[in-house]
Amino acid sequence: MAASGKSGQRIEPSFGGNADDDDDDFRIEASDRVTGGGRKPTRGKSAPAPKKKTQRSKRGGSRRGSGNGGGFIGLVRTLFYWCIVLGIWGAMGVGGLVLYYGARMPNAESWSIPERPPNVKILAVNGDNIANRGTTGGEALSLENMSPYIPQAVIAIEDRRFYSHFGVDPLGLARAMLTNVTTGRMVQGGSTLTQQLAKNLFLSPERTLERKVQEVLLAFWLEQKYSKDQILAMYLNRVFFGSNAYGVEAASRRYFNKSARDVNLGEAALLAGLLKAPSRLSPARDPKAAEERAQVVLGAMREEGFVTDSEIKTAMSQAPTKAKSYWSGAEHYVADMVMDQLPGMIGEIKEDLIVDTTIDLNLEKKAEEAISATLDADGKKLDASQAALVSIDGTGAIRALVGGKDYAESQFDRASKAKRQPGSAFKPFVYAAALEIGRTPMSIRNDGPVRIGNWTPENYDQKYRGEVTLADALANSLNTIAAQLVMEVGPQNVVKVAHRLGIDSEMQANASIALGTSEVSLVELTSAYAPFMNGGFKATPHVIRRISKADGTVLYENTYDNPPRVLDPAIVSEMNQMMVRVLTNGTGKKAQLKGWEAAGKTGTTQSFRDALFVGYTSNLTTGVWFGNDDGKSMKKVTGGGLPAKAWHDFMVTAHEGLSPSPLFGTTGVQPVFDDGGTPPAPTGDVLSGDPNAFPAPPVGVDGSMAVQQTRPLPEGNGGLVPPADVGETTGATKRTTLFDILTGG
């Protein structure tokens, strides 16, 4: 109710104060009466002066503020007010930054997921994986195809609310900020998996405000355009796991030598733990740190309910992962060879490819074991530090290739890229050329001193045996006989035969080619022996059978199924008869295979720098090299030593379970003698009046065997010389083959 004052004026009660305030708080002067409608109050003559009214009003307002709007509540109201104001201005500022940095980005309509760098999946002949090559080092897998532990581990340690946030996790960001503030250093990051994917796909790694704003905008776009599973799969297939491995498949192959499909709980935890610091935590660099981080991940998975205590106990009881510092295994030499050849077959690699090779992984492992075992047993004491092996079948398909002792230590492929002198391993091409002009294994030549121009070839033991058959000469690797045959046939014709059979390297057509002074690779040398094994057909060496797209479209398929004939079958038969004797009676005895007929030839270069053995059965032709990368001499290692031993060990395991079969043309064949009967008499001690016509070879001889039988040197001022000038025959009937007709021979 309203109360009446002494003047009869109505006084409006005040409700701004508390009940126990002084009565003065309720008194209002008559002149202060408030009228409705917002009209001005009417002043009477006795109304206080305006100045006094103002003072009373201030006092009254001050009294009221101390009772209602002052103190703690007033402070709260003030803070709340300014928070709202600052929040509005902050939102406007953030909005401005977003608009500004967003305007600097390309139009959202043009945004698209960058193509993942193409992967090349390289498969063995049975479909097993040899390696993945490309920038990522592994193929892309869907979530359904990879181990379920992998996404669980990554979510548990990197983004626990991945399936509930909208690209940015405010709670996670606040938690990370609080943790970093309390610890005084950067311990946690607030970025979600979506933000990390956006950064990896579109942005540079620099830490700037602009990049962070753009990262958030791109995260929103990713969440709007793709499902959570798609985002997670893209992330797992592209993120860096250290040691040059991008994506879970590459990382799994790199660290565990298995597919991400088969990763167990402990391995998945280790992979997820790498994301914090891929290079520092790599098990190839610091296995202990990697294992400790993996246990942190396992704890996070347990907290999220992904795994049970018993599963964690099992995972922790497993042996820690031991990863080599680099890709290991001889099959990686094959993978490198494939990658070298791909551009020449299909051009630039722009999409995922599947390459089917000719490699038998079982033989590949056996080849690597044979090389490693031989080097480990005798390499150090004989100063032999490296070796290589290549094995091909009758079509030229490479079944096994080892480019060195250890791929992890050296990735240089000594089987296909290194070119070295083959030594006496080249002699079969000299003898084949001689057989093509009418010589036979039973042809007789005199093993004695020979001088060609200013070159005087000598046998390894510097002894001479007098009259010998060509079969004996090849078995005992007599240099004098090989030099005579080169001059009978002509160096140019020897080069033609070698090229025809499979040697691609350029060779010098001089007399010293008899002793293998022109450099060749082990792959081409071995493939050139294959026509002796397969009956006379060219065996072009190849490792790639087919190249396909991921959808199965075939881009390339080899056509080596119809090879040309390069040797007459009769020549093949005679060569096989002679080279069998290399193993039974000659320099390659250590290569003999129990129950199998085998043939081959040893080779050793000057000062024992290189030692080779190339041999074959009816199933495989295999070449082996031992030496040092720097050309340092070994301790009297010959082709009949370490190479023959390693060849034997590999071929024994490679032929396990197979039924023995004879070599082509070695059964039921009678020896054939020259139509001329005996060799022609020597015509002098110098072939040409020009002593420089046939310069001395820069490197030399085969050191495969010390021959026991010797004969005294013939009397006179000269020794045996080639019976005719280069390219001339001695009257023997020349065989006419298909290649003679084609080449005009």
| pLDDT tens digits for range 276-315 | 999 899 998 899 999 999 999 999 999 999 999 999 999 8
- Same domain, yes or no, for 86 and 175? no
Boundary residue ending a domain (84, 104, 124): 104
| pLDDT tens digits for range 126-146 | 999 999 998 777 888 999 999
Residue 417 pLDDT greater than 60, yes or no:
yes
- Same domain, yes or no, for 174 and 216? yes
- Same domain, yes or no, for 223 and 93? no
Please report, as a single letter, which amino acid is at residue 527: S
pLDDT band at residue 204, thresholds of 50, 70 and 90? low
Find where tokens 């079509």 sit.
395
Boundary residue ending a domain (269, 296, 317): 317
- pLDDT averaged over every residue in the chain: 80
147 within some domain = yes
What is the predicted pLDDT for the residue at 491? 96
Task: Kindly report which listed range (22-36, 133-147, 355-369, 527-541) carries the lowest average pLDDT score.
Answer: 22-36
What is the predicted pLDDT for the residue at 664? 93
- Same domain, yes or no, for 224 and 93? no
Residues carrying an active site annotation = 158, 424
CA 623 to chain centre: 24
DSSP reduced 3-state for 20: coil
Task: Kindly report which listed range (28-32, 175-179, 520-524) carries the lowest average pLDDT score.
Answer: 28-32
CA atoms in the 13 A half-sphere facing the CB of 297: 30
Distance CA 688, CA 682 (A): 13
480 within some domain = no
What is the predicted pLDDT for the residue at 634? 97
- Same domain, yes or no, for 92 and 140? no
Residues 159-184, mean pLDDT to the nearest whole number: 77
The one-character DSSP state at 565 is B
Residues 202-222, mean pLDDT to the nearest whole number: 77
Distance CA 498, CA 154 (A): 59
What is the Cα Rg of the chain in Å? 44
- Same domain, yes or no, for 227 and 282? yes
- Composition of the chain by helix, strand, coil, percent to 5: 40, 10, 45
249 within some domain = yes
The one-character DSSP state at 604 is E
- By the 8 A CB rule, do 168 and 160 touch? no
Name the more confident of 738 and 635.
Answer: 635
Closest CA to 639 of 499, 478, 477, 495: 477
Residue 52's CB is within 10 A of a number of other CB atoms, namely: 12
Name the more confident of 84 and 430.
Answer: 430
- Same domain, yes or no, for 139 and 183? yes
pLDDT band at residue 73, thresholds of 50, 70 and 90? confident
- Same domain, yes or no, for 171 and 302? yes
- By the 8 A CB rule, do 303 and 296 touch? no
Residues 68-75, mean pLDDT to the nearest whole number: 72
Q: For residue 447, what are the β-bridge partners?
A: 466
What is the predicted pLDDT for the residue at 690? 35
- By the 8 A CB rule, do 581 and 474 touch? yes
pLDDT band at residue 622, thresholds of 50, 70 and 90? very high
pLDDT band at residue 697, thresholds of 50, 70 and 90? very low
Q: Kindly report the CA angle at 732 between 731 and 735, in degrees rounded to 5?
A: 130
- By the 8 A CB rule, do 356 and 546 touch? yes
Residue 701 pLDDT greater than 80, yes or no:
no
What is the predicted pLDDT for the residue at 668? 63
Distances (CA, A) of 652 to 331, 613, 664: 20, 15, 20
Task: Count how many domains the chain has.
Answer: 2
DSSP reduced 3-state for 616: strand
Task: Kindly report which listed range (207-211, 465-469, 509-513) carries the lowest average pLDDT score.
Answer: 207-211
What is the predicted pLDDT for the residue at 385? 97
Task: Kindly report which listed range (183-192, 238-247, 463-472) carries the lowest average pLDDT score.
Answer: 183-192
Residue 519 pLDDT greater than 50, yes or no:
yes
Task: Kindly report which listed range (103-117, 264-278, 280-294) carries the lowest average pLDDT score.
Answer: 103-117
CA dihedral sign of residues 671, 673, 678, 679: negative
Strands (E), 78-128: 119-123
What is the predicted pLDDT for the residue at 1? 41
Residue 542 pLDDT greater than 80, yes or no:
yes
The one-character DSSP state at 45 is T
491-501 helix and 522-534 helix, angle to the nearest 10 degrees:
80
- Give the CA-trace dihedral at 646, 651, 652, 657, to 10 degrees: 160
Closest CA to 29 of 60, 63, 69: 60
CA 371 to chain centre: 21
Contacts of 339 (CB under 8 A, 6+ apart): 120, 133
The two tokens of residue 70 are 């002052």
What is the predicted pLDDT for the residue at 86? 81
242 within some domain = yes
- By the 8 A CB rule, do 695 and 731 touch? no
Distances (CA, A) of 721 to 144, 467, 707, 725: 77, 14, 22, 10
423 within some domain = no
What is the predicted pLDDT for the residue at 541? 97
- Same domain, yes or no, for 88 and 211? no
- Same domain, yes or no, for 180 and 243? yes
415 within some domain = no
| pLDDT tens digits for range 577-608 | 999 999 999 999 999 999 999 999 999 999 99
Contacts of 448 (CB under 8 A, 6+ apart): 464, 466, 480, 713, 714, 719, 720
The residue count of the chain comes to 745
Of all residues in the chain, what percent carry a pLDDT higher than 70? 74
- Same domain, yes or no, for 163 and 271? yes
Residues 476-488, mean pLDDT to the nearest whole number: 95
CATH number for the domain spanning 289: value is 1.10.3810.10
Q: For every residue of 341-410, which 3-state class applies, written as one string?
A: HHHHHHCCCCCCEEEEECCCHHHHHHHHHHHHHHHHHHHCCCCCCEEEEEEECCCCEEEEEECCCCCCCC
| pLDDT tens digits for range 624-642 | 999 999 999 999 999 999 9
Name the more confident of 561 and 611.
Answer: 611
The two tokens of residue 294 are 């993996």
Greatest mean pLDDT among 32-46, 481-495, 696-710: 481-495
- Same domain, yes or no, for 158 and 234? yes
Boundary residue ending a domain (300, 317, 334): 317
154 within some domain = yes
pLDDT band at residue 670, thresholds of 50, 70 and 90? low
169 within some domain = yes
Task: Kindly report which listed range (210-219, 239-248, 529-538, 689-698) carries the lowest average pLDDT score.
Answer: 689-698
Task: Kindly report which listed range (59-68, 87-96, 98-107, 565-574) carries the lowest average pLDDT score.
Answer: 59-68
Residues 211-232, mean pLDDT to the nearest whole number: 88
Residues 77-87, mean pLDDT to the nearest whole number: 83
Domain extent at residue 79: 75-104
